[in-house]
Amino acid sequence: MADPSSYRPAPGTIPTQPGVYRFSDEHGQVIYVGKAKNLRARLSNYFQDLAALHPRT
């Protein structure tokens, strides 16, 4: 598995405005496109520590 620092955005670099984001695989192929009213809040859900998740998640 890849080192999280290679794909996790640096803290504070994601705007809080609405926008579109995309996730790519190791070959650069887009595998997911999403949109959010608050990019920072949405992406923080994806990149939070797994230990912090509720057991039912």
| Average pLDDT of the residues in 5-15 | 77
Q: Residue 55: what pLDDT? A: 72
Q: Tell me the average pLDDT of the chain.
A: 83
Q: Residue 46: what pLDDT? A: 77
Nearest-5° Cα angle at 52, 47 to 53: 85
| Average pLDDT of the residues in 45-54 | 72
In the chain, where are the structural domains located?
A: 1-8+18-47
**Would you say residue 4 has pLDDT above 70?**
no
How far are the Cα atoms of 1, 9, 12, 21, 52 from residue 15, in angstroms, in the given order? Answer: 27, 11, 8, 11, 23
pLDDT digits (tens, 9 = 90+) for 14-31: 899 999 999 888 899 999
